[in-house]
Structure formats: C-alpha cells, structure tokens
Amino acid sequence: MPLFEAKPACFKAYDIRGRVPQELDTALAYRIGLATARYLQGQSFVVGRDCRLSSGNLASEVIRGLTDAGADVLDIGLCGTEMVYYTTFARGLDGGIMVTASHNPMDHNGMKLVQREARPISGDSGLDEIGVRAIDCDLTPVEQPGTVTTENVLQPYIDHLLSLVDTSDLKPLKIVANAGNGCAGPAVAALARHLPGQIIPLYEEPDGNFPNGIPNPLLPGNRSATADLVRAEGADMGLAWDGDFDRCFFFDENGDFIEGYYVVGLLAEAILARYPGSKIIHDPRLVWNTIDLVESAGGVPVMNKTGHAFIKERMRSENAVYGGEMSAHHYFRDFAYCDSGMLPWLLVHQLLSDKDCTLSELVRERQQAYPASGEINRRLQDPDAVIDRIRKRYAGDARGVDHTDGLSLDLGDWRFNLRKSNTEPVIRLNVEARGDEKLMRQKTDEILAMLDT
C-alpha cells in the first residue's frame, strides 16, 4: 500500500478538516501534536484556536502532544489564523498550529500548520507525512517534556499591521465591521483605537454557538446583515470576515457586495504605490482586470496556480510584494508572504483616502471594463469528460489556451476558466468579458447549459 494512503480522513490537500468527533477528536489531536514536533524536529511552537466549542479541548491536546515530544509551546489562546502566522515568523519559532474550521459547519473543526518563517505545511510539503505518523507513532513522552507559556500577542500583532500602512493621512470613515461571531471582533476593536472615523461593530463577540449563522460571507444569504447596516448607518464601507478572519469581504457605501476579483486589483494598485515596479501574483480564474491595473501601475503581473501553498511558494521565488486570489485570500511579502484578513481593509482605507472617492467609484469603472460572472459551482459525476467536451467546443476559436489551473480559454472578447476544486467534488466556472456584460452573461449561460446536460 502506498505510504500516504494511511493518513487520517481529515487530512486534506492544504490543511486538516473533519467532523468532530467522528473524523477529528482529542486523541488524534494529541497524536498530531506529537507527530508535528517530531516531523519538524522543532523545539518551539505557537498554538492558537478559534471560538468553536470543540477548539479549546482540541488545542489543549495538541499542546500536550507537542510538549510530550519535548517542544516548548507558546499558547496564544483565542485568535485569528494570521496571528499564529505572525507569532511564528516574528518570534522565530519552529512552527505553529491553528485549531480552526473557519467557515465549515458547526460540527466540524480542523487545523492549519506552518513551519519556520510561517511557511505552509500542505499535502506535498509534509502534511501527509504528519498524518501517517499521527496514526502510527510512538506515544511514549520524552523524559523532559516541554513547557507551556500563555501570552496575549494581540498588541504586538496590531503594531506590526499598523507599521505596514500609513495612517497619518487616512480620512475619517464610517465602517461597518461584521465579525460574524468569529474571532475578528477583538482585532478590529484593537485596530479601531488607532484609526480615524468610526467602526460600527456587528456580531463582534466570539461565540462558538454562532447565533447568527456560520461566518461565511461567500454565501449570498449571509451578506444581508452587513449590507443592511451599511445602508442604515450611511457607512462608507462594510466589511465581513470568515471565522478565523484570514479572508476579508467588502461592501461599498451602497451596501453592494464587491467580488473578490476586483479587490485583488485594488490591493495590487495600493501596494505598487509603495513598491513600484514589483511583481504581483494572481490566480488564473479571472485575470484581465488585475493584469490591466498592475501593468498600468508599473508592476509585473505573474499568473500562478490557485491555492495558498502554491501562491506563497511563487511569491517567495519571485520576490513578489503581493499575491491575490479572487476567493478573498490576500498575501503580503511584508507579512512573511502569508495571507491576512486585516491588512486588506487597511490598505483599501488608505486608497480611498489617497483618491478621495467612494468605494463604489473606485470599483465601478473596473466592473464595467471587465464584467465577471463570479465563481459558479456545479457537482458533476464525470468532471473530466465535461471539461474535455467544453474544450473541444471552444478551443478552435481560442486565441490562447492555458492549463495553469484547470482549463482557461481566451476567446478575444471573452474568456473563461473551468477547474476542478482541490478540496470539494465540484467544478468551478468563471467567465469575464471586455466591456460587454451582455456577452459575459450570454457565454456564462451557454457554458452552464453544457455543464447541466
């Protein structure tokens, strides 16, 4: 049997995720701590957790596993995933583990693992091996177990974020901030004390019962609370986060949701103002707006496969200052190439101040220049056959064919990307056009009809 077939079912391509306790329980959490410390041969780790009801017990067992392997642990308690990233690189630790299921259902939990310099540990960089070792590992503790230190790292983390933006010329804005009862509330409140204007909190208290629903702003049904409060308060901008706040979602002053694609372009423009001529990494799903903005700002756009491990690796190899995915993951060289859900809105605040305009004005021209379908998902029994059928239908007319991630075809006035998910049994479609929303919608419907037959 191949080695990696023995890993637990909750070990996925990029992280650990599964139902509790059926797929992930405290016994396995202990083994994961042991296996991680031994695999990395590390002596110092940070452990954080989200507010899910099962996270405290799972984190405690991870910590026990790490210390029984002889490692010292810094326990930072309730936090966002990026606070584990920050602590790992800022303190020069050997690794970090965040216990979180982000936006997954109530009965799920999981973990995100990083090694030195907050480099991701994914399936092809050690996660599978850790999974195998967790099943078949020596449970005997070392004679001298490691120590546990508890510390609140919120303030040094906030100080680091503020060092990456210029707050001196920020305009006072009224901002609705919907933490979704996840972990974003305390970080937003801490940042608000250093910013002009007014932060209007919504569901700011971390609550693992999620009384207002699982924090997942990608679901259209979860957006109304933020949009309605933006309109009611006459706010300049609305923000919403997932449970571990590594993704940030934007609403303009009219309460309209802004697709993550257009935010990538905004952030690229903002960062190139600070680092002119630099490289920007973007994913292949929707590209024209990003390429246009990056080149207009004097930067160099570089397309790369979707997925945080792939983006971070490419950013390091290219010395890119920023990487963005339309799924609302944004990566920054100044944040050890890690993704952050707090830096994006600080940078957009700075951009709005510099340009002295509204958020809708900032994105309207881009939405008109490159109308996009947004990501559309379909569950299919034979996705490879469907992708091949669509390729044959359009490839003859294509000006360009790209297989960086799935199938991308450039048809001149419009293009599309069709790819299989790395984490779910679904196929994902994105369509965009050059200044022609009617054409974009027509072609989207055309391809969907082929997917649905």
How far lies 215's CA from each of 122, 253, 428, in Å? 24, 21, 22
- With contact defined as beta carbons under 8 Å apart, do 296 and 273 qualify? no
Q: Which run of H or of E encompasses 228?
A: helix 224-233
Active site residues: 102
- With contact defined as beta carbons under 8 Å apart, do 390 and 450 qualify? yes
Q: 69-92 burial string, b = 16+ CB within 10 Å, else e?
A: bbbbbbbbebbbbbbbbbbbbeee
Q: How many Cβ atoms sit within 10 Å of the Cβ of residue 447?
A: 19
Dihedral over alpha carbons 215, 219, 221, 225 (to 10 degrees): 40
CA distance 63 to 105: 24
> Strands, DSSP E only, in 230-387?
237-241, 248-251, 257-258, 279-282, 300-303, 322-324, 330-332, 338-339, 376-378
